[in-house]
Amino acid sequence: MTIFRSTRIAAVALAAWLACPPLAPAAEVKLDGTGGNYKLLVDGQPFFIEGAGGDGPKQFLKDCGGNSFRTWGIGDDTGAKLDEAEKLGLKVTLGIWLGHERHKFSYTNMKMVSEQFDKAKAAVEKYKDHPALLMWAVGNEMEGYGDGDNPAIWAAVNNIAAMIKQVDGKHPTMTVTAEIGGGRVEAMHKLCPAIDVVGLNTYGGGPSIGKRYRAAGGTKPFVLTEYGPPGTWEVGKNSWNVPQELTSTAKAKLYRATYEETILAEKDKLCLGGYAFTWGNKQEATATWFGLFLGTGERLEPVDTLTELWSGKKPENRCPQIEPLKVVGADRAKPGDTIKAQLAVVDPEGDPLKIEWRLEKDMSMYQEGGDFQPDAPRFPDAILKQGEKDVEVKMPGDAGGYFLYALVKDGNNGAAVANVPLFVDGGTQSKLVAKKGQVPMTVYADGMGAPKFVWSGWMGKHEAIAMDEKSTDNPHAGATCMKAQFKSPDNFGGIIWQSPANDWGDNPGGFNLTGATKLSFWARGETGGEKVDFVMGVIKADKPYHDSASAELRGVALTNEWKQYEIDLNGKDLSSIKTGFGWVVPGQGKPVTFYLDDIKYE
């Protein structure tokens, strides 16, 4: 019996091993070369980065000739991403997100800096031996958008990079900046000796950044960590100050220019390769500005260009090629007036094309930084007549800007897109243009995806506030919860969840949560007795884009055990909720620490 049981256990163990074999040992990645002639070596073999950043399909990335992708931070899905990369034979530049001062992170607050260092170290210790790991990217544009030469920031970057070299001796260190203006290049070279590689995010300046980097004194090897079409800050604007987005065909030419004039020109010199942005779809300024795919998954022409550049071969079936949309007559109208536009598009293989015309509200969100932006409201009833070459649109009654899109699909996973801005003069000033939200809607929970509302609205004595959304201190559900602290004995402090981030009613956003009857959440105090106010809908009607309703629970005395609380929303107008949740702690003569979990509209 003992022999039989041992044999059976061994068989079960073998089956488990065959189903999920152990990972290969960590790759040894070295930076080879001096004096301006550099290469990456992976287990002794040259490795030139041909990749992208974003959450689009990784199998397709490999099929296009890509060999790597990058991440911006460590999350619950990091292990799964690395495992997928290993199965596909891809390498990963793993990002360690560092705080931004525009998000109220202070590099003079030693406690915040120390906690950030500890999280970085934990991530390095957890993933340093994964065979898919290529290198570490310490921060992304954490230097800000000014001169970028704050010594305190660069000291924190260098300390983390030096730690990585001690904990993990097999992978290079990199830090990533927003272009190279101001004092960035000098700061990285003088203040960060532990940084091996410079990561450069560049868009309109991509074709020239190699030459400009050298002229600025850059001698360390670099990677283009983001490159693509010109940003909203780099293009011309129309008569009502709206940046002009390029067509997918025009964008493809710019991806090629950056690749050929910088990445390829500096190969085996200072450039170690590049990551195109973004391998996926992202609402930023418009629905299509930076995405290499449509929201429905079809690839755009820049992907065909990247495929040719990475693999040396054009795709067998190419994307449609599109010209800018042309408005017939004026591009401004009164409410209810009709605007006509014309489309010119061809398919290289003559595939039959399906054209979707779409009118969306211009959200007027052109700021830099890449923060979360809600999808724009659509107006399907505005499309009166549509054909393969033209469209008639009845303009809505709300005054302001709109975008008219032509989304063209070839039936073979290829697409093209162009848009044109339009404007309504003299209409109503409705500010409640929130997108329809799906109820139930999660505001915060362990392992959730991209947040609908962002905890970006700091109030009161904000320097005394600390938030950790990945706390492992006795969570209510899952592996983590949110730890909130107000460390001042007096004054008050609070955090508001906003849509869009950092907005107090000056920009459109928010969600129509009609159908929700309550906002529920779990909370507990560190010791019990902590008093906290919980709120939603704090932007008043004196702001252009306000909340349509507000509600609160004032003076909640928490216990040291988890308890569920509810804010009653029955009878509330939830058609435009821009601030989905918040907490406020009045000074209580001592620091206050409490925890939150599973916040959602039901």
Contact between residue 218 and residue 198 where contact means Cβ atoms under 8 Å apart: yes
pLDDT digits (tens, 9 = 90+) for 439-461: 899 999 987 877 889 999 998 88
How is residue 451 written in tokens? 């947040």
Residues 6+ apart with CB under 8 A from 125: 167
Residues in the chain: 602
Q: To 10 degrees, what angle do helices 110-127 and 151-167 make? A: 30
Q: 472-500: per-residue pLDDT in tens? A: 999 998 889 999 999 988 888 999 999 98
- The string of pLDDT tens digits covering residues 149-174 is 999 999 999 999 999 999 998 999 99
What is the Cα–Cα distance from 189 to 220, expressed in whole angstroms? 8
Q: Which residues pair with 579 in a beta bridge?
A: 498
pLDDT at 1: 38
| pLDDT 10s digits, 125-148 | 999 999 999 999 999 999 988 899
pLDDT on residue 16: 45
Report the range of poorest mean pLDDT among 185-194, 275-284, 344-353, 411-420: 275-284
The pLDDT assigned to 14 comes to: 47
DSSP at 211:
H
| pLDDT level of residue 240 (50, 70, 90 thresholds) | confident
Q: Taken in order 452, 454, 455, 460, is the CA torsion positive or negative?
A: negative
Q: What is the pLDDT of residues 201-211, one digit of tens each?
A: 999 999 999 99
Of the candidates 487, 454, 480, which has an alpha carbon nearest to the alpha carbon of residue 119? Answer: 480
pLDDT tens figures, 509-546: 899 898 899 999 999 999 999 999 999 999 887 787 88
Cα of first residue to Cα of last residue in the chain, in angstroms, is 56
pLDDT at residue 374 in the model: 64
User: For 545-579, how does the pLDDT look when each residue is reduced to its tens digit (9 = 90+)?
Assistant: 888 888 999 889 999 999 999 999 988 888 889 99
- Please tell me the distance from the alpha carbon of residue 337 to that of residue 333, in angstroms, as a whole number: 6
- Asked whether the predicted pLDDT for residue 83 surpasses 90, the reply is yes
pLDDT of residue 542: 72
Distances (CA, A) of 290 to 295, 420, 563, 577: 12, 16, 43, 27
pLDDT tens track for 16-70 = 444 455 668 888 999 998 778 999 999 999 999 999 999 999 999 999 999 999 9
Q: Give the pLDDT confidence score for residue 9 in this predicted structure.
A: 44
Q: How confident is the model at residue 102 (pLDDT cuts 50, 70, 90)?
A: confident
Phi first, then psi, for residue 346 (nearest 5°) are -135, 155
pLDDT (average), residues 250-271: 97
Which residues are paired to 393 by β-bridges? 339, 383
86 or 145, which is more confident? 86
Crossing angle of helices 110-127 and 78-88, in 10° steps, is 40
Which range among 127-136, 355-364, 372-381 has the greatest average pLDDT? 127-136
Q: What is the pLDDT of residue 428?
A: 64
Among 77-91, 330-344, 444-458, name the one with the lowest average pLDDT.
Answer: 444-458
Is 368's pLDDT higher than 80?
no
* 367: confidence class by pLDDT, cuts 50, 70, 90: low
Q: What percent of the chain has pLDDT over 90?
A: 72
